Structure formats: structure tokens, C-alpha cells
Amino acid sequence: MNTRDERPTYADAACAALGDAMAHDERIVVVGEDVGRGGIFAQYRGLQQRFGAARVIDAPISEATIMGAGVGMALAGCRPVVEMRVVDFALCAIDEVVNQAAKCRYMFGGQGRVPLVARLPGGIWSASAAQHSQSLEAWFVHVPGLLVVAPSTAADNAALLRAAIDCGDPVVYLEHKELWGQRDAPEVAAAPPARLGQARVRRSGGDLTIVSWSRQLHWALEAAAQLATEGIDAEVIDLVTLWPWDRDTVLESAGRTGALLVTHEAVQIAGLGAEIVACAAEALGCRVMRAGAPRIPVGYAPTLEEQARVRPAAIAAAARRLLDRRKRP
């Protein structure tokens, strides 16, 4: 009996979407380290064999050079997909992202656009320590001129990567390092394609709103399932696009439930969760809370690494505290 799972993984879905885009648009090129052999997470598997080394370009170990070349390609009319291996390494190319790609359209009055997708796999990567496990989405959300995307499912990774390539502006594309092998449940795979700037309601509920993204979204859903056994009905929203984030969906839900919890894998201090809860508090006056990581480097030892993770139990505990606070006179 054939028990092979035919559902695409998070990596397969993105690879297929990129291959389809490249087949339809010769302007799309890939540049980065290890892309010729398929990428370190197999997210480019077979693409160099299919499209050749002139369109799937192996680059030397120089992140600033790779990103700088990508910006130049974009200004010259290409639509480059720039691979940084992990978001941590992108810090070596931060000037090209923040001062060149992000600002070019503004500084030249729209005459120069940078339709570039920077794939920067983020998040904790088990047993990879402090320099390979960072969640830096708040840095990029802070920069005017950048779109920031963080898909949590294989289906969304395919749809959003294609949308990012097509959008015409620089996109920081944050795939999670520990989602590459994940396959979607049938109901997730069957959902309508994701859109830039539009959040997804992954679970409906009326007692409180939980907002998350990327891998943390899956733990938020686990926390909601745990809360349901206690009679607490949580709505879970997958933000999907971190900038622009879907204020309407979040505020509608938080206004209806009266309580908003934002949870993310990134350090809680000055994280994106702070912006979201501040907007909700200003607009609605609802109760708000965050559940993020402590301000510590991610440790290599499993016991230390665990301190940086915000697991479902911690999310559920934060939700209980939030509801208890709401009930006080």
C-alpha cells in the first residue's frame, strides 16, 4: 500500500511557486549562496537545472555583494529573488536593504523602483545558537519602503511568494527555519489563496482575540485548543503580512471580544506586538497583553534555548491573565 504523503511541504510549495513564476517571466532571477544545489532548506530544488546558471546564480559568501547586486538587477529591470540563507546573515547587507532598496522609489520620485524579494529565513533554529536563531521582523517593519511578509503555512508560502514577486516593491520575506518540512492540513490547503496585507482568521471565537504569525501561529492555535477545554473561546488571527498589517481584521475582532493578546517568537521588548496592542488600545480601549520572548540571546544548550521559546502553555497562561484582568472592577 502506498502511504506516501503527496501534500507539498512549506519548502516544496514555495519552490513550485517560484518555478512557475520564472517560467512565465524571464525577468525573474535568483541570486544567493547555495541556490544552485537547491538551497540549504531545499527551497530551490531543481531550479538551476531547469532554468540554468544564468537565472539561478550561485554567489560567493558576501551578503553585501549579493544584496547590492540584487538591488542593481531590480533597478535594471529584473525581478530578483535574493537568498540570504538566514535572517541573521542579512545583517551583513543591512545598508543595501535599508538605505538602498527601501528608499530608492521615494528618493527618485518613483522613477527607480526595486521589485526585489529578499528571502530571509527567520526564527529559532534548534541547536543553532544565538547567531542563527533570531526573529528580527520588528527591525524591517520599522523601515519605511519595505513590505514584510511571514507565511505560516505551505499554501500561504506559495501564494505570498508569488504575490511578493509581482508587487513591484522590495519585500522582506521571512520564512521560518523550522517550517520547511511542514505539510498543511487539508482544510488549510483548501483555503483561498493568501493576499498581501490581508490577515487570516484561523479560528473563530468570542472570548478573546489572539494574534500571531509564522511558526508561533501554530502554537497559538494549540493554546486556543487548550483554552477551549476550559470553556474559553479564543479567536486566532494569522497576521500573514507584517507590513502593512491588517488593522481592520484585528480591530474588528478585538472590538468584538474586548481582549487582545499578541504572541510572537521575537523578543517581547520593542517587538511588533507592542505596535499592535498600542493601536488596539488607542482605537478601542480594549484590554491588551503581549506574550513574547525574554530579552536574551537564544542559547545553544537545549535548556537555554527553551527559555527563549514561547510555547502554548505560556500563551494560554497569558490569555487567562488577560481575561482575569478584564473581569476585575
- Separation between Cα atoms, residue 237 and residue 243, nearest integer Å: 15
Tell me which residue has cell 520575506: 173
Contact 249, 199 (CB under 8 A): yes
Q: What share of the chain is helix, strand, coil (3-state, %, to 5)?
A: 40, 20, 40
**Number of helices and strands in the chain (H, E):** 13, 12
User: How would you label 177-210 residue by residue, b for 16+ Cβ within 10 Å and e otherwise?
Assistant: bbbbebbbeeebeeeeebebbebbebbebebbbb
Q: Do the Cβ atoms of 148 and 171 come closer than 8 Å? A: yes
Residue 2 neighbours by CB under 8 Å, 6+ apart = none
Tell me the three cell numbers of residue 149. 511578509
How far from chain centre, in Å, is Cα 171?
A: 11
Closest C-alpha among 41, 53, 54 to residue 13: 41
Q: Are 184 and 221 in contact (CB under 8 A)?
A: no
CA proximity to 161, closest of 36, 40, 44: 44
Q: Is 24 a catalytic residue?
A: no
What is the CA 232 to chain-centroid distance, rounded?
Answer: 28
Catalytic residue from among 24, 132, 142, 218 = 132
Task: Give catalytic residue positions.
Answer: 132
